[in-house]
Structure 1
Amino acid sequence: MKGMLFALAGGFFLTFQSVANATISSQIGTWQAAAMTQWTGFVLAIFLVFALRDRSYKQLTQVTPLYASGGLLAAFILFSNITAVHRMGVTLTISVFLIAQLIAAIVIDGKGWLDMTKKHVGKTQILGVLLMITGILVLKW
Structure 2
Amino acid sequence: MKGIFFALAGGFFLTFQSVANAAISSQIGTWQAATMTQFTGFILALAIVLALKDRSYQQLTQVSPLYASGGMLAAIVLFSNMTAIHRLGVTLTIGVFLIAQLITAVLIDSKGWLDMSKKTIGRNHILGVALMIAGVIVLKW
Q: Same fold (TM over 0.5)?
A: yes
Q: Which residue of 2 aligns with 1:12?
A: 12
Superposed displacement of residue 52, structure 1? 0.6
The root-mean-square deviation of aligned C-alpha atoms, in Å, is 0.4
Which portions of structure 1, spanning 4 or more consecutive aligned residues, are displaced by more than 2 angstroms?
A: none
In structure 1, the residue corresponding to 2:121 is in which secondary structure?
coil
What is the rounded CA distance, in whole Å, between the counterparts of 2:120 and 2:69 in structure 1?
Answer: 28
How many residues of Structure 1 are paired with residues of Structure 2 in the alignment? 141
For structure 2, the residue ranges without an aligned partner over 5 or more in a row are none
- SS of residue matched to 1:114: helix
1:38 and 2:38 correspond: yes
Report the TM-score, using the length of structure 1 for normalisation: 0.99
SS in 1 for 2:114: coil
- 1:70-109 equivalences under 5 Å are 70-109=70-109
TM-score normalized by structure 2? 0.99
| Alignment deviations for residues 108-127 of structure 1 (CA, whole Å, 9 cap, x no partner) | 00000000000000111001
Percent identity over the alignment is 76
Secondary structure of 1:117's aligned partner: coil
Aligned partners of 1:54 and 1:93: how far apart in 2?
Answer: 36
